[in-house]
Amino acid sequence: MSKKEKTKEERLSETVNLLTQLKNNGVRSNSLGYLSLKQRLTAWVESGVPEDFTVPFREYGREAVVSLPRYNNRAAGINFKVKKDSEEPDLEISELD
């Protein structure tokens, strides 16, 4: 398969798939993170401009790390990662004497 720019139809199909996967995994479609992500994905469908970014999903204690490629040799992807609160100290386990 040769490396070509994704068509608008390909970008739309990938966007629908990503948003559906989020909803199927319990993310509400009216949550702030979902709406923000949907807005960015819609802009990518229209423009085709590649972008890597992070969207906070604070209500779930997570963040979406998003990669939107230009070419058809890579699929758009979202890693839905647990967001570590930087103000919370790391828990250390030590042996008790």
Share of the chain above pLDDT 70, in %: 86
- 40: helix, coil or strand? helix
Neighbours of 52 (CB within 10 A): 10
For 4, 36, 63, 88, the CA distances from 71, given in Å and listed in that order, are 5, 24, 25, 40
Q: What mean pLDDT comes out for the span 81-86? A: 78
Whether the full predicted model's pTM is greater than 0.85, yes or no, is no
Please report, for the chain, the start and end positions of each structural domain, with discontinuous segments joined by +.
Answer: 8-82
**Tell me: the pLDDT tens digits for 10-30?**
999 999 999 999 999 999 999
The reported pLDDT for the residue numbered 97 is 40
Sorting pLDDT into bands at 50, 70 and 90, what band is 1?
Answer: low
